Structure 1
């Protein structure tokens, strides 16, 4: 299903039918697709009719959201990544090796991404591998500093979340954290580590997070300001 915007742009429509859903709701996903959450019994024709009534709202939302960006385009504009509390400049090189890998240069201030093939998916896969290595180390460092224990860490391609913490003390982080400034990356990590003690977002949680990150309000605002744009990076390669 597609939506034809006022400008003539064809926008994919993702229909999510869930038992228990009582009303039709629309939002834009991070691939700038229209996501329709609808009751189980509503037909595609009914969804299309509802979307047609919301044309003005959808057009207004499409005009406001950032464009979906490839990782290579993002790195061309912002050639840096964060790890271990530091910022590394990025250099992408072609390689004769069989597999993509990365190394450090320039007195360990430059992260070199070496790719056998100049393809977007290869760059994305290597960046996600670097993100896993970097975030595993950073979470371990912060947890040890705060005398906290967690059961495991996964680095994934979440559709909207920066991170989560399960009741089993497992932490999951978004690979795009390496595209953030170090203090914002640490804020997300500290947020999830705070959930090891407080699983909800009650007053005790925020008080604990304030003790972990005294600048958390500033960091939250900075993350909110860039989050919508960054969540749309790397959605072009599937």
Structure 2
């Protein structure tokens, strides 16, 4: 099997296989675009499908939980640092406004939420609002923690990445997903501290975790586990 391979599947839509030489076991993770399987080298697709079979029902249950529900006027986001809701409007076009620190997407009363067009319009409006909030909120937070722990960085950029919360390059450029705005504050801080730790330790070796533990009062692994288990509303 090649390093990356995707096959269609009647239950998950797609199964994405990733070969990693450092992997000791087969791991499975459900995402919105299908089932992601990480495997050690030299495993055939048939062998991997046989390994998945006993867990298929449990994985399908997890898949049902993460699939986004369609937007309608009841949709809202009530995160610690980002609040958003939809409301009906007599206007003919969708508009976005800020009201009492809450982003309000005003939707025409004639909007048909069963259509792909309206679903896409609302989704894009939510994403633009979240990006704007992240651009205002996250860079100063990175600067604050950078000064607290004397870990300088080069610059901060905001991305729409969904597969990872953040990253740090060898040039100390930090990229943060605007989906961080959906996290509780303590997990948002953890992601930022994680990336700042990479400005000194670029890998995930013992020295990295020792540094991150110093920055999180010994809670680095517990916070990582909590972050992996967190399921944002959007």
User: What TM-score, normalized by structure 2, do the two folds share?
Assistant: 0.66
Which structure has more relative contact order (CA 8 Å, sep 6+)? It is 1
Q: How far does residue 180 in structure 1 lie from its aligned partner after superposition?
A: 1.0
Q: How far does residue 168 in structure 1 lie from its aligned partner after superposition?
A: 1.3
2:208 matched to which residue of 1?
A: 205
SS in 1 for 2:203: coil
How many residues align? The count is: 212
1:187 matched to which residue of 2?
A: 190
Residue pair 1:32, 1:62 contacting (<8 A) in 2 also:
no
Give me the whole-angstrom Cα distance separating, in 1, the residues matched to 2:149 and 2:180.
20
Question: Unpaired segments of 5 or more residues in structure 1?
Answer: 5-9, 83-87
**2:223 corresponds to which of 219, 225, 229:** 219
2:180 matched to which residue of 1?
A: 177
Does 2:157 align with 1:157? Answer: no
SS in 2 for 1:199: coil
Q: CA RMSD in A?
A: 4.2
Question: Unpaired segments of 5 or more residues in structure 2?
Answer: 1-6, 108-117
Residue pair 2:180, 2:188 contacting (<8 A) in 1 also:
yes
Give me the whole-angstrom Cα distance separating, in 1, the residues matched to 2:164 and 2:212.
18
Larger mean CA deviation between 207-216 and 166-175 belongs to: 207-216
2:3 matched to which residue of 1?
A: none
User: What TM-score, normalized by structure 1, do the two folds share?
Assistant: 0.66
Task: Provide closer, same or farther for how the CA distance between residues 182 and 26 of structure 1 changes in structure 2, counting only shifts above 3 A.
Answer: closer
